[in-house]
Structures are given as C-alpha cells and as structure tokens.
Amino acid sequence: MKRKPKITVATFLLFGMFLGVTEFHAQAAPPPVKKVSAIQVLMIQSEEVKLPAEFQISLYENLIKQLQKQGGFEHIYRDGDKTATGDVVILRSTVRGFKKGSEMARQVTTVAGKTSIDVHCQFTDKDGATVLENDVNGKVRFLGGNLRATLDFAKKAAKITRENFSMKSGS
C-alpha cells in the first residue's frame, strides 16, 4: 500500500519526460524546405584541403551531370550564369577532407588504396539564408580510377538535392 504514491510519482515523471522529449523533437525538426524549379551549382571550393584541379572540376561537372540525369528541375544553372533568375536554390560545396588513394594498390591488394572525398553541401536561397546543410562522402574502393570517387559523391548529392528541393520528388 505504501508503494502506491511512489508508483504514481514515477508514472507522472515518465509521462512528463515523454512529453518533454516529444516537444524537444518537435523543436529540433528542421523547417520544411521549399520546393523550387531551378538550382544553381557553384564551383567546388577547397580552402582547407589541397585538392588537385582535376578533382575539383570532376566534382563540379559530375554534380551537374547527375542533377540533369536524375531530373526534377526545370533549370540547372552553372556558376556565374547570368540567366539564373526566379525561384532558385544555390548549392555551395566545400571539400572538408580528401584522401587520394591508389588505383594500383586497390587492384593489387583489394583492401588498400581507397580514395575518399568529404564534401560539405550548403543549400541557400537567393538571399543567402541557409535552407539545408549536409555532409556527403564520395569514395572508390575497388574498380575504377581515383576520379570515380567524384561520381560517387555526385550521385549522392544529386539524390539529396532531388529529395529535398525538387517539385517532382515524392516527398
């Protein structure tokens, strides 16, 4: 009989915690991103990391190609395009980590020689306000040259972009 108040208190505490957690989650959830008809891709930046020029260009070109391939946007503008107007989201990508592996090591040993690129993707609106941020990794483990890591990144980044901003995406 003496246990009853304790149980009641514990139940209230648990209920309170549940409510608090729910409320916290509700606050932490990012605001729903606006669907747009166009995207502008800026040139990949690599201020912190020394990135060979061919990787920088390959990241940029593959990203644009994958966005075109996966569809969902009426216009895909390049960096510096003067015709980029209207409802457009801007994608800025910054390389945060880069490890140039070895194709030969991959083919000879199978386990060594991985090439990996970590890129921070920031989506902003035309006023510069951040809408979404995401870290995307591109890597090549087995087959293919080192530049194939940029294709892996591009596929992942294009998928994220399509899911979050494309009017034609399911969500």
Question: Does 82 interact with another protein (rule: CB under 8 A)?
Answer: yes
**How far apart are alpha carbons 39 and 17 in whole angstroms?**
42
Residue 70 has which token pair? Answer: 């996966």
Of the candidate residues 35, 45, 87, 118, the single one contacting another protein (CB under 8 A): 118
- What is the pairing mode between strands 115-124 and 130-140? antiparallel
Contact 119, 157 (CB under 8 A): yes
Residues 6+ apart with CB under 8 A from 144: 103
Q: Please, which residue, 35 or 75, has the CB nearer to another protein? A: 75
Q: Are 66 and 150 in contact (CB under 8 A)?
A: no
Give yes or no for residue 50 binding another protein (CB under 8 A): yes
DSSP 8-state code for residue 139: E
The stretch among 14-22, 23-31, 77-85, 86-94 that binds another protein (CB under 8 A) is 77-85
Among 1, 28, 53, 111, binds another protein (CB under 8 A): 53
Question: Cβ of residue 142: shortest distance to another protein, in angstroms?
Answer: 10
Which of 33, 42 has the CB closer to another protein?
Answer: 42
Which residues bind to another protein, rule: CB under 8 A? 43, 48-54, 56-58, 60-62, 77-83, 96-100, 103-104, 107-108, 116, 118, 143, 145-147
